[in-house]
Structure 1
Amino acid sequence: MKQKRKKKPDPYLVDEGNPEWTEEMFRKARPAAEVVPQVVEAWRRARGRPPKETTKQQVTLRLSPEVLVYFRAQGRGWQTRIDEVLNRYVARKKAA
């Protein structure tokens, strides 16, 4: 029966300055928020776009094929354009 040889690590993948973690290293590890809270907080604040005052609501809406073909043919943002048309309609009705 053949014994399995230990495969030597690829010398290009071995990083002497970044050794594999030991069990003791894992036991001593602490969350980044404890070690550098200011960095973690800055990272959390910087992610994503700022929240809007009013957010849109997701709904299911049945539209005629002609309406869909027309707005989709205009390219990206077709749903936003439908929303704009509906907003203008609501504003006109409120003004009347």
Structure 2
Amino acid sequence: MAGSKRTSMGTDDMHATRKRGESKTDLAKVHAGTPYVWDGKNEDERPLTREEMQAGIEAYRKQRGRPTGSDKESTTIRFDRDVLAAFRAAGPGWQTRMNAALRDWLKTHSAV
């Protein structure tokens, strides 16, 4: 494509670049597997301990999926298409807005 900028290489291109001596990767350093050593100066750059990593993973797992402890109940209900279209047209959150509209209606009408 004219004017497109290539941002990545295929494996054949990488091997050819390495053979020509144009690679910017220090292979000796990569193969040595030198571990990161924290200099102790900046606390933000300190590697996480195993316990901190585990706590972060567990916190992430807890926040996934549907919220727990909610007073909401899943149900199946049928609405007219035009009513659903009107709520959906306003974008994401249409179910929450529909719930608020029904709650507002209950304030002025008997629940029974």
Larger RCO: 1 or 2 (CA < 8 Å, sep 6+): 1
The bucket for the TM-score relative to the shorter chain is 0.3 to 0.5
Q: TM-score, normalised by structure 1?
A: 0.48
